[in-house]
Amino acid sequence: RATHGHDLLHSHYSFSYLVSPFCRSLKTSFTKWKPDYDSAASEYAKAAVAFKNAKQFEQAKDAYVKEAEYHTENKAYPFVALEQAGMMMKDMKRMGEAIQYIEKASMMYVENGTPDTAAMALDRAGKLIEPVSVEKAVDLYQKAASVFENEDRLRQAVELLGKASRLLVRLRRLDEAAASIQKEKNMYKEIENYPTCFKKTIAQVLVHLHRSDFVAAEKCVRESYSIPGFSGSEDCAAMEQLLQGYDEQDEDVVNRVCNSPLLKYMDNDYAKLAVTLKVPGGGKKKKPPAAPQGGAGGSQAAAEEDDYEGGLC
């Protein structure tokens, strides 16, 4: 019968053939007062697998949705079936519908006391949608991070938050990226992963300078001095040089720091921020001309230099 069912998958009558046992499960009679939702759900699950194996994804999705419905009727857990329905939509390249099913399943996981599974489902959904919609992927990663954070699973939460931060940078939503990276940094500090805090400081500085907010960039470095090991680290030295070069509009210094291995080999989205950073004003800092020996010319050069005393910013 299983072989016959598989052959029929390709026929016009396949769906009705495979679902006929469920109709029997759901019928009531004088001696059978309640529909057998559990059996119906089980039969739909089998049908879904048969359709899936035959690459009949639309019918497989319908069967998984029906399975979920009957699990709900039976006060059982429908979320696994819903997530599978989402995966069928993914196989059909219908990503929007896929994510809807997976998100719905994830919320049910949370409501039914399995938040870890919910967060992992949201993470999977984020990976699925990322090539199609970076904006939606950000939302899913943030939701997944939030679920883990509520469970005090900070290591898992911060990893997902990091994905969201990088995508926010890619989208040039820099204000949100700055806030997201700060949250990451706080979490890494809480779990005492200090070297990663240093890297997050570099990311913060790059984001703030691209936002043309030198004060915020400087504040991030200043606050990082309280993190054990930051002061005296290569990360600290690089950021001090970068801020000084940026403040003095010294393009050579800024380019040298931004093209150093420390910044060039960061995650790609941050490395791009580094290599595209420009000093304010867009030009090289003009060095004062060499003063002639004595004479009025020397006095004039000194006067011109005085005009720039204290920097340009």
Determine the pLDDT at residue 178.
98
Domain assignment present for 225: yes
Domain boundaries, position 221: 185-285
Residues of the chain short of pLDDT 50, as ranges, are: 1-13, 17, 20, 22, 24-26, 28-33, 74-76, 286-292, 294-313
Give backbone dihedrals phi and psi of 129, rounded to 5 degrees, phi first.
Answer: -85, -20
Domain assignment present for 6: no
Domain assignment present for 221: yes
CATH value at residue 275: 1.25.40.10
Instruction: Report the distance separating Cα 244 and Cα 232, nearest Å.
Output: 16
Q: Which of 189, 190, 262 is nearest to 220 (CA)?
A: 189
Domain assignment present for 211: yes
Q: How many domains does the chain have?
A: 1
Q: Is the pTM of this model over 0.75?
A: no
Instruction: Report the distance separating Cα 194 and Cα 190, nearest Å.
Output: 9
Task: Classify residue 102 by burial, with Cβ atoms within 10 Å: 0-12, 13-18, 19+.
Answer: buried
Domain assignment present for 3: no
Determine the pLDDT at residue 10.
43
Domain assignment present for 173: no
Determine the pLDDT at residue 49.
77
In the block, residue with structure tokens 């706080």: 186
Domain assignment present for 79: no
Domain assignment present for 252: yes
Determine the pLDDT at residue 145.
96
Instruction: Report the distance separating Cα 126 and Cα 134, nearest Å.
Output: 9
